[in-house]
């Protein structure tokens, strides 16, 4: 049995990053809303309290019951979690008089404090709160400060209970991972046994128990997620897995044929279904991004329902859903986090859908999926493929989608992606693609005026898709790519490059 960590979510957009950092330490963790009844506290070895958009002083602030946790299990409150404990147990939390957002440096660390073992006294941390702990309650001991935040960290006497007002989970807290390791490994004494190999073993076992001798149909896209999901299911149920690759008409150039060829030698039973006309018809006249995503999802499910009826006794629909899909689509496990956008493969199933859904990768981040894929022996070239959105080019064509616009964008995308590979840039980019804008721009070719489409190129670096920064591609590459697109793709006369980061932008434009 894996030793597990419970993360109670108070609605912070950083909660998933806490989970990812814990996983980096080879420790399994789960996120539940602070008021959930769907977990048993005795299943966990330690508890983390997340940040929150709420103030602990507000009437509608989350108010968790820590009776079964505090003093009984190792407990760490992060930001709101720390402020809640200070506020609830006799201290004082007030609106901050100084700016407590962004970078800060520790100015004091208590000597010989194991929580900060190996952490430099001037270590950079990341603050993100408008309230501050003014006075600590009785029996709360100060263990760290910054120049502006007197009570940056505390512990409770005679308990394994800690609180910090900064965010160790974000990249800008330079020793954040070390602090989490100190708490979870040295203080809570949790074994670091959650590895890709252990995930494969436990997942295959669970899949066998859950699916039994039932048949599963799975949508195979050629991407990392669906490939790893299919391989796990195949390992668990063998020939009872039926893979279907649907051409939704919104794939990259020649991808339908290439993907079918790619899986020929992987031992997977794959059927190709060309439903491009059906998808494009459903998208006619739709310009709102959410309407397009839902339309694509609707047809995706309908096609699978049709195909499942051609197979006898299929009971499950396998999907390559991963953790960021879930987090950005709905509040984590019903918690208070804000919804960013819906994903076509995590929405509600229509009433007529006869299949139950199974998602082997639902708790993994993208980098974890790749590590699991490597442990399964999947080819590195396939594992290194950039993520590609489920709705495909449908959400990279801003506005309405037509067959002609798909053709234009496929040609543009092919030039861009092939260029990245030729220049040796592909593997240094996490995700790249092109967007077709719903505007025409004036241009001149020869002596003639043109009035054609503008396209946007986008390339980002990231580890899990939760945050991303634009890639500073060489000007020479961008210049050559722009010339190739404008000269080679009929209907395009302008190329621009997107230099927005996530946040505040998202990776996709829709």
Q: pLDDT tens digits for 5-22? A: 999 999 887 888 899 899
In DSSP notation, 130-162 reads SEEEEEPPTTEEEEEEESS-S-SEEEETTSSEE
Nearest residue to 171 via CA among 277, 350, 367, 18: 18
Query: For residues 267 and 197, which has the higher predicted lDDT (pLDDT)?
Result: 197
DSSP H or E segment with residue 302 = helix 289-310
- The pTM assigned to this predicted structure is 0.71
Mean pLDDT score of the chain: 89
**117 within 8 A of 50, measured Cβ to Cβ:** no
Helix or strand or coil: residue 286?
coil
Q: Is 422 a catalytic residue?
A: no
Helix-then-strand count for the chain, H and E: 13, 20
Backbone φ, ψ for residue 43 (5° rounding): -85, -5
Half-sphere exposure for 233 (CA within 13 Å, toward CB): 33
Backbone φ, ψ for residue 455 (5° rounding): -120, 155
Backbone φ, ψ for residue 337 (5° rounding): -65, 150
Rounded alpha-carbon distances, angstroms, from residue 474 to 421, 494, 497: 14, 19, 12
**53 within 8 A of 2, measured Cβ to Cβ:** no
Q: pLDDT tens digits for 58-79? A: 888 889 999 999 999 999 999 9
Strand residue runs (E) in 408-487: 431-445, 448-461, 469-470
| Antiparallel, parallel or unpaired: β 153-156 and 140-146 | antiparallel
Longest CA–CA span in the chain (Å) reads 83
Pick the catalytic residue: 87, 100, 129, 167? 167
Residue 506 to residue 508: CA distance in whole angstroms: 6
Residue 231 to residue 376: CA distance in whole angstroms: 8
Joined together, the tokens standing for residue 270 give: 């794959």
Pick the catalytic residue: 29, 129, 169, 368? 169
**15 within 8 A of 9, measured Cβ to Cβ:** yes
The runs of H, that is alpha helices, within 348-432 are 366-375, 380-383, 403-422
Pick the catalytic residue: 29, 79, 328, 359? 79
Let me know how long the chain is.
Answer: 510
**Above 80 in pLDDT, residue 466?**
no
**127 within 8 A of 167, measured Cβ to Cβ:** yes
DSSP 41: G
Q: Is 29 a catalytic residue?
A: no
Joined together, the tokens standing for residue 302 give: 């309908």
**455 within 8 A of 492, measured Cβ to Cβ:** yes
Q: How far apart are the first and last CA of the chain?
A: 41
CA dihedral 224, 230, 235, 238 (to 10 degrees): -150
Query: For residues 102 and 113, which has the higher predicted lDDT (pLDDT)?
Result: 113
Helix or strand or coil: residue 105?
strand
Q: What pLDDT is stored for residue 89 in this prediction? A: 94
Residues 43-72, mean pLDDT to the nearest whole number: 92
DSSP H or E segment with residue 299 = helix 289-310
Q: What pLDDT is stored for residue 357 in this prediction? A: 87
Q: pLDDT tens digits for 339-376? A: 434 444 444 445 555 678 899 998 888 889 999 999 99
**335 within 8 A of 31, measured Cβ to Cβ:** yes
What residues does 481 pair with on adjacent strands?
Answer: none
* Sheet of 4-9, strands arranged across: 28-33, 4-9, 44-49, 75-78, 161-164, 153-156, 140-146, 101-109, 124-128
Q: CB atoms < 10 A from the CB of 237, how many?
A: 21
Region class of 334: left (phi > 0), else alpha (psi between -120 and 50), else beta: left
Percent of the chain surpassing pLDDT 90: 63
In DSSP notation, 263-279 reads TTTTT--EEEEE-HHHH
Q: Is 209 a catalytic residue?
A: no
Q: pLDDT tens digits for 292-349? A: 999 998 898 888 778 878 888 888 888 888 876 765 543 444 444 444 344 444 444 4
> Rounded to the nearest 5 degrees, what angle is found at the Cα of 323, between the Cα atoms of 301 and 162?
155
Q: pLDDT tens digits for 489-507? A: 999 999 999 999 998 888 9
Q: What pLDDT is stored for residue 339 in this prediction? A: 43
Residues 467-479, mean pLDDT to the nearest whole number: 95
Nearest residue to 298 via CA among 344, 346, 248: 344
Residue 317 to residue 303: CA distance in whole angstroms: 12
């Amino acid at each position: 049995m894996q030793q597990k960590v419970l993360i109670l979510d108070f609605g912070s957009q950083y909660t998933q990053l806490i989970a990812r950092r814990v996983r980096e330490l080879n420790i399994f963790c789960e996120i539940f809303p602070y008021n959930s009844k769907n977990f048993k506290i005795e299943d966990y070895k330690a508890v983390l309290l997340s940040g929150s958009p709420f103030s602990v002083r507000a009437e509608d602030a989350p108010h968790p019951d820590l009776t079964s946790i505090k003093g009984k299990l190792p407990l760490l409150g992060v930001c709101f979690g720390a402020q809640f404990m200070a506020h609830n147990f006799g201290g004082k939390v007030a609106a901050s008089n100084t700016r407590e957002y962004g970078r800060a440096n520790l100015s004091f660390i208590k000597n010989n404090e194991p929580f900060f073992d190996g952490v430099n006294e001037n270590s950079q941390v990341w603050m993100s709160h408008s309230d501050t702990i003014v006075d600590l309650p009785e029996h709360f001991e100060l263990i760290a400060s910054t120049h502006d935040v007197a009570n940056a960290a505390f512990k409770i006497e005679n308990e394994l209970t800690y609180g910090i007002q900064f965010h160790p989970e974000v990249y800008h807290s330079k020793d954040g991972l070390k602090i989490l390791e100190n708490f979870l490994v040295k203080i809570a004494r949790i074994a670091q046994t959650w590895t890709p190999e252990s995930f494969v073993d436990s997942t295959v076992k669970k899949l066998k128990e859950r699916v039994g001798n039932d048949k599963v149909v799975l949508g195979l896209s050629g991407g990392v997620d669906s490939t790893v999901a299919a391989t796990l299911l195949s390992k668990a149920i063998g020939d009872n897995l039926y893979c279907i690759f649907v051409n939704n008409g919104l794939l990259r150039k020649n991808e339908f044929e290439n993907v079918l060829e790619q899986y020929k030698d992987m031992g997977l039973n794959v059927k190709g279904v060309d439903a491009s006309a059906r998808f494009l018809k459903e998208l006619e006249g739709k310009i709102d991004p959410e309407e397009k995503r839902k339309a694509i999802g609707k047809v995706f499910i309908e096609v699978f329902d049709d195909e499942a009826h051609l197979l006898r006794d299929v009971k499950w629909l396998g999907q390559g859903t991963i953790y960021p899909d879930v987090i950005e689509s709905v509040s984590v496990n019903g918690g208070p986090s804000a919804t960013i956008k819906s994903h076509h493969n995590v929405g509600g199933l229509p009433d007529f859908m006869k299949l139950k859904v199974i998602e082997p990768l639902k708790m993994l981040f993208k980098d974890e999926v790749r590590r699991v894929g490597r442990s399964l022996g999947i080819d590195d070239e396939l594992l290194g493929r950039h993520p590609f959105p489920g709705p495909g080019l449908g959400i990279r064509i801003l506005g309405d989608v037509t067959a002609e616009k798909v053709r234009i964008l496929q040609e543009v995308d092919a030039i861009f992606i092939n260029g990245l590979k030729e220049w040796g840039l592909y593997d240094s980019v996490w995700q790249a693609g092109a967007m077709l804008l719903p505007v025409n721009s004036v241009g001149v070719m020869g002596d003639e005026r043109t009035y054609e489409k503008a396209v946007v190129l986008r390339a980002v670096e990231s580890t899990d898709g939760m945050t991303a920064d634009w890639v500073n591609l060489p000007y020479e590459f961008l210049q050559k790519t722009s010339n190739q697109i404008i000269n080679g793709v009929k209907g395009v006369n302008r190329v621009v490059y997107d230099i927005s980061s996530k946040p505040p932008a998202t990776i996709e434009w829709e």
